């Protein structure tokens, strides 16, 4: 295992681990891709995927829809019911940032209700919005499941669908969020490759980990995302609109008995351009029991976390501030 200094040096010099999914065609290549994914999850909890298989036209249409929505007057965006439109306020406990967002369930029945909201439409046709969003969600869900299955294979888990079946469940509580970080000029230029303060830039979304299983993130070609694989040290992530960025969520850390790391990350509004991102948060059903997989518990590595339901953990998440530690509350 590399030292923290070596990990940090690698992250700076080589950027994040890059996984080429087109290299998984043969069994030998698939095994190597799976090994690299697991290594990235252990060391960073975060990696970049290229040649991911999500069609370009689906991505382009989703970005067009996002910009179209956020360009509307605030009064129209606030009418985006039953969806959750928010501006600057994040959650229910006082967190805020330079961001506006649209948050909703990935359940097809929920998305269908968009037809009753004229503020979420393409050419004044809400059914077009539903079609674009549904196609994008289906594509990134499949990408998430492919990645999760590769993880399970490398971890020698008996049921290689142990992770992916949780987000394939028809009752999955997965969510989807469109984020818009409007232009906010920094007070001074920061050219350092490592940032330890936000003095010159305003926070879009503050430090946090994602509570779900896995996050699939894509953004336009505007920077701002940073990760902290080492406590207190922030590494800027170079944007790449042709790729997806994957990060381990809290539940996956629990299920792998701490082998994978649910990495802290944040977004800074640090340019004169708008940053737009789309995030898929893969989660189990509310009543799903989250437990550490037995293959990852050994006499020398006892189980770190007690069993709990996703509903229980989600309730805890909503009761805390964005950057608060939650997993410690569920340790044995």
pLDDT at 82: 60
pLDDT at 231: 73
Rounded to two decimals, the pTM is 0.89
Instruction: Please provide the size of the chain in residues.
Output: 332
Rounded Cα gap, residues 228 and 304, in angstroms: 22
pLDDT at 1: 44
What one-character DSSP code corresponds to residue 187? S
What is the tens place of the pLDDT at every residue in 241-265?
999 999 999 999 999 999 999 999 9
What is the tens place of the pLDDT at every residue in 193-210?
444 444 457 899 999 999
Rounded Cα gap, residues 331 and 329, in angstroms: 6
C-beta of residue 167 within 8 angstroms of C-beta of residue 152: no
Assign residue 268 a region (left: φ > 0; alpha: ψ between -120 and 50; beta: otherwise). beta
Q: What mean pLDDT is reported for the chain?
A: 87
pLDDT at 91: 80
For 94, other C-beta atoms within 10 Å of its C-beta total 9
For 241, other C-beta atoms within 10 Å of its C-beta total 14
Q: Return all residues near 43 (Cβ < 8 A) that are at least 6 apart.
A: 2, 7, 17, 229, 261
Rounded Cα gap, residues 155 and 222, in angstroms: 35
Residue 281 DSSP SS3: strand
For 246, other C-beta atoms within 10 Å of its C-beta total 25
Rounded Cα gap, residues 267 and 208, in angstroms: 10
What is the tens place of the pLDDT at every residue in 23-46?
777 788 999 999 999 999 999 999
Rounded Cα gap, residues 195 and 203, in angstroms: 13
Q: Which residues are catalytic?
A: 275
The parts of the chain modelled with pLDDT lower than 70 are 1-15, 81-83, 112-126, 185-200, 270-271
Residue 87 parent element (H or E):
strand 84-90
């Amino acid at each position: 295992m590399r030292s923290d200094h070596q990990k940090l040096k690698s992250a700076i010099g080589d950027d994040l681990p890059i996984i080429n999914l087109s290299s998984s065609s043969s069994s030998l290549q698939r095994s190597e891709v799976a090994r690299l994914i697991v290594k990235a999850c252990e060391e960073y909890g975060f990696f970049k995927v290229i040649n991911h298989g999500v069609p370009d036209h689906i991505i382009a249409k989703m970005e067009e829809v996002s910009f179209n929505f956020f360009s509307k007057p605030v009064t129209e965006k606030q009418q985006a019911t039953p969806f959750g439109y928010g501006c600057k306020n994040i959650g229910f406990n006082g967190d805020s940032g330079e961001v506006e967002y649209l948050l909703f369930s990935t359940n097809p029945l929920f998305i269908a209700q968009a037809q009753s909201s004229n503020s979420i439409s393409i050419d004044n046709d809400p059914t077009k919005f539903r079609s674009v969003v549904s196609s994008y969600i289906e594509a990134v869900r499949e990408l998430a499941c492919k990645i999760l299955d590769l993880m399970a294979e490398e971890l020698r888990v008996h049921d290689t669908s142990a992770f992916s079946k949780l987000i394939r469940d028809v009752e999955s509580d997965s969510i989807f969020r469109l984020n818009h970080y409007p232009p906010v000029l920094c007070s001074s230029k920061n050219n350092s490759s490592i940032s330890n303060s936000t003095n010159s830039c305003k926070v879009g979304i503050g430090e946090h980990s994602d509570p779900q299983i896995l996050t699939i993130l894509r953004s336009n070609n505007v920077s701002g995302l940073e990760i902290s694989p080492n406590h207190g040290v922030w590494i800027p992530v170079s944007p790449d609109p042709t790729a997806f960025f994957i990060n381990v969520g809290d539940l996956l850390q629990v299920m792998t008995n701490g082998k994978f790391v649910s990495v802290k990350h944040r977004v800074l509004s640090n340019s004169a351009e708008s940053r737009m991102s789309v995030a898929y948060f893969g989660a189990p059903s509310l009543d799903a029991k989250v437990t550490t997989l037995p293959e990852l518990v050994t006499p020398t590595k006892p189980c770190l976390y007690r069993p709990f339901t996703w509903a229980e953990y989600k309730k805890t998440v909503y009761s805390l501030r964005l950057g608060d530690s939650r997993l410690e509350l569920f340790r044995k």
